[in-house]
Structure 1
Amino acid sequence: MNAADRQIERWQDQFHTWGPYGLLAVGTLLAVTTSDLTGGLAPWCEAGGLIVAAVSLQVWHGPRRGRRTPSRRGTVYYALRWAIAFALTWLNPFFAFYAVTGYFDTDEVIPGTRRQRLGLFATSIMVAGSQSGGMPIRGTTQWAVFAGLLVANNALLFIGTHFAFQEEQRSRDRAATIAELERTNAALQQALDENAALHAQLLVQAREAGVADERRRLAAEIHDTIAQGLAGIITQLQVVTNSQDPNVVRTHLASAQSLARASLGEARRSVQNLGPAALEHDALPEALKKTVAEWGAQQGVRAEFTVTGTVEPLHDEIEATLLRIAQEALANAGRHSGAGRVGVTLSYMGDEVSLDVRDDGRGFDPLNVAPRSGTGGFGLDGMRARAERIAGSVTVEAEPGHGTAVSARVPLVRHG
């Protein structure tokens, strides 16, 4: 309830408390000053006794003080006040000023709609009698006037109560709407608080996911670059250890030195999250061609590279992923297959790019290969993870004694 509503309620309390006294005083004053004209207010003792009774009744009923609940006590008060007002109006019609008090507080003191209407009708009898010339009613003409005024008064009461009911209903509707808006605002605030908490939680999860993804990226880069480079260096040094030919030693030491430099460069690029060094100055086909040729020379294996379809510039992430998959597939072939021939094919197929690495080595049974992620390796799982990060896939076809084929398919996303 706002300040204006509280002020109105205070005024209503004051009127219901002191209004009957004021109206009784007005009626008494008019009755006394016009007693010679109306011939009323006789005998004086009866009128005085009724006025005292009216004041006593108001004192008994007491101040309203914000009470708005009809009760049996209120009904008794209303009935006694009506009886006193009727008697006073019978003595002098100007006491109808006191009688109209019944119009203002019927719904405040009488419970039940039917009883309230009966109270209003009873009050209208006194008012109509006063308006028709006073009571008792005499003669046909006065009775006709009284009946007409009674009908008019009740019609006005009906219209007034109808509008009052509509206004009260609108007030209730407004109160219900305000209450609903308050509930909605509370629910909205709660939802906003929950969203803020969820947003904070998502930020934490995104941070953790970013850290985990960066760890996986670095681990994969280390496996694909540094680890393979170190493995190549070890292979070259083993040849040097087992050879007495100075030319062979010199050649393999140079190769080991070159692998060490390349591995160091790849390590720096991995930390800085840069693309592979092979793609720094060359597009994917040229980088793959050089990678296959270098791998074949290091392993002493016949390695061929083929491009099919119309070559298109690819997104940096697509090129880096396919190059890393090719490097991993070649590394696996060098370590495990014992192949004498390896073929690498890069195919541009409309909205897809395919990379196939095939060898004629000893092969294996794909169903008997356990995931290596638990031991720190990546291998096939690493290739699949790389392809899946760019909505691609990796399939492996192998059979013991009949070689291995690794095929990677990724979307063709053009550069820029």
Structure 2
Amino acid sequence: MTEADVQLEQRWAQANRWGPYVLLGFAVLFACVTAALTPGPAERWAVGGLVLLAFALQLLWGRYGRRREPSAAGVTYYVVRWALAFALTWLNPFFAFYAVTGYFDADEVIPGRLRQWLALVATSIPVAGAQAGGLPIHGATQWAVFAGLLVVNNVLWIVVGNLTHQEEERSRARAGTIAELERTNAALQQALAENAALHAQLLVQAREAGVADERRRLAAEIHDTLAQGLTGIIAQLQVVANTPDPAGAREHMGRAMDLARHSLGEARRSVHNLAPVALESDGLPEALRKTVAEWGERTGVRAGFTVTGTAEQLHEEVAATLLRIVQEALSNASRHAHATRVGVTLSFLGDEVILDIRDDGRGFDPLALPARTPVGGFGLDGMRARAERIVGSLTVESEPGHGTALSARVPLVRDER
């Protein structure tokens, strides 16, 4: 039940409690003003005695008998009050004001729908009698007027009662709907809280998995570049140490220096890729634009970057994942694809982000890759694992001699900071 319904019910309860006193007071006032309608002293004494009885009845009911549900005591109270109101209206028609109180609380004090209707019909009798000129009824004309008024009064309370009943039913239905909506909202809030907690847990797991993935990637980087470079340097220096020919020694020393420079470059690239420093000052689109441009300048390959849709600030884990995928794809393109053109597209599509990387290199057969090759073991598999850790996916389309197309599709999770 809403607060407005509670207030309305409280006001209606106050009206039922004090209404009979107010109506009885009005009836006494008008009876005093129209004392000529009660000519005999006996009738006036009877009016005074009945008024005192009516007042005493209201006091007793207000103190001892008021209940929220129909009862036998309520029926007794209603019948006695109706009898007093009928007798007073017989003596003076203005006491019909007091008789009107029977319309207000029949449903509260009398059990059963039929009994309530009979009580309301009984209430309409003194009211119609007063409207027809007062009781008792004299002559055919007054009887006809009384009968017509009796019908009109009963039709009116039937119509008003039905409308009131329908409004109460609508109020109860509305209260039930509101209560159901409140329960649904509470359940929804709980589900949202659980989803937020699950989302935070998934991000923590993704971060931890990302750390492990970085370790594996760095192991592959060291094995494929630094370890091989150092091995080559050692081999060249051993030749220098064992050769008596100065010209040959200088040649092998030059080769060792070239290998050292190359290994140093690879070490710097690995350190750069260890943490997404490009995201510290820029959003993902700008970081990808710089990454693609720098890669193109370093490798001499024509590279382009495009953004479609409305760019949004992504959660750091999502942005870092997409940046890593691009870095890995560009690394594979320079080391294995021998491409002359590379295109990177970042698309914001409502509730997801799509990253496409295309090159015109020599391509490959994805199904024919060995289990632990650099491309399949630390390239495509690593990129796919990154996407799947944030509930995304990676698809690969390639064919020998026709280039490669990678597409990473991940949820659009906004940065709420």
TM-score for both structures, normalised by structure 2: 0.65
Aligned to 2:141: 141
Aligned to 2:59: 59
Q: CA deviation at 1:29?
A: 4.2
**Of 92-101 and 17-26, the range deviating more from structure 2:** 17-26
Name the SS of the counterpart of 1:272 in structure 2.
helix
Query: Residue 411 of structure 1: which of 379, 404, 416 is its match?
Result: 404
Aligned to 2:313: none
Q: CA deviation at 1:120?
A: 0.9
Question: Percent of aligned positions with the same letter in both sequences?
Answer: 56
Aligned to 1:320: 331
Q: CA deviation at 1:145?
A: 1.8
Aligned to 1:232: 232
Any residues of structure 2 matched to 1:353-392 within 5 Å, and which? 353-354=361-362, 380=373, 383-388=376-381, 389=383, 391-392=395-396
Query: Could you tell me how far apart the structure 1 residues matched to 2:33 and 2:364 are?
Result: 122
AA at the equivalent of 1:380: T
Supply the RMSD in Å over aligned alpha carbons: 4.3
Change (3 A) 1:127 1:215: same
Name the SS of the counterpart of 1:263 in structure 2.
helix
The answer as to 2:257 corresponding to 1:257 is yes
Query: Could you tell me how far apart the structure 2 residues matched to 1:193 and 1:156 are?
Result: 54
AA at the equivalent of 1:82: W
Query: Could you tell me how far apart the structure 2 residues matched to 1:159 and 1:116 are?
Result: 15
Query: Could you tell me how far apart the structure 1 residues matched to 2:65 and 2:80 are?
Result: 21
Q: CA deviation at 1:198?
A: 3.8
Aligned to 1:131: 131
Q: CA deviation at 1:121?
A: 0.7
AA at the equivalent of 1:179: A
Cα distance per residue 1:69-112 (max 9 Å; x no partner): 33333222112211222232233333222111101222232233
Query: Could you tell me how far apart the structure 1 residues matched to 2:266 and 2:178 are?
Result: 67
Q: CA deviation at 1:261?
A: 2.8
| Native 8 Å contact 1:70 1:111 kept in 2 | yes
Query: Could you tell me how far apart the structure 2 residues matched to 1:96 and 1:22 are?
Result: 13
Query: Could you tell me how far apart the structure 1 residues matched to 2:162 and 2:41 are?
Result: 37
Change (3 A) 1:410 1:78: farther
Any residues of structure 2 matched to 1:142-291 within 5 Å, and which? 142-237=142-237, 239=239, 248-273=248-273, 281-283=298-300
Query: Could you tell me how far apart the structure 2 residues matched to 1:141 and 1:245 are?
Result: 150
**Of 214-223 and 191-200, the range deviating more from structure 2:** 191-200
Name the SS of the counterpart of 2:362 in structure 1.
strand
Query: Could you tell me how far apart the structure 2 residues matched to 1:249 and 1:352 are?
Result: 42
Cα distance per residue 1:38-71 (max 9 Å; x no partner): 5467455544443333222212211599964333
| Native 8 Å contact 1:347 1:354 kept in 2 | no
TM-score for both structures, normalised by structure 1: 0.65
Aligned to 2:78: 78
Any residues of structure 2 matched to 1:25-64 within 5 Å, and which? 25-39=25-39, 42-43=42-43, 46-62=46-62
| Native 8 Å contact 2:86 2:99 kept in 1 | yes
AA at the equivalent of 1:101: T
Change (3 A) 1:66 1:226: farther
| Native 8 Å contact 2:397 2:404 kept in 1 | no
| Native 8 Å contact 2:70 2:109 kept in 1 | yes
- Structure 2 unaligned spans of 5+: 274-290, 303-325, 342-357, 384-393, 407-417
AA at the equivalent of 1:385: F
| Native 8 Å contact 2:361 2:403 kept in 1 | yes
Cα distance per residue 1:350-402 (max 9 Å; x no partner): 97643579xxxxxxxx9xx9x7xxxxxxx52664331343754999xxxxxxx
Q: CA deviation at 1:319?
A: 4.8
Any residues of structure 2 matched to 1:394-409 within 5 Å, and which? none
Aligned to 1:116: 116
AA at the equivalent of 2:232: G
Number of residue equivalences: 336
The answer as to 2:23 corresponding to 1:12 is no
Name the SS of the counterpart of 1:320 in structure 2.
helix
AA at the equivalent of 1:116: Q
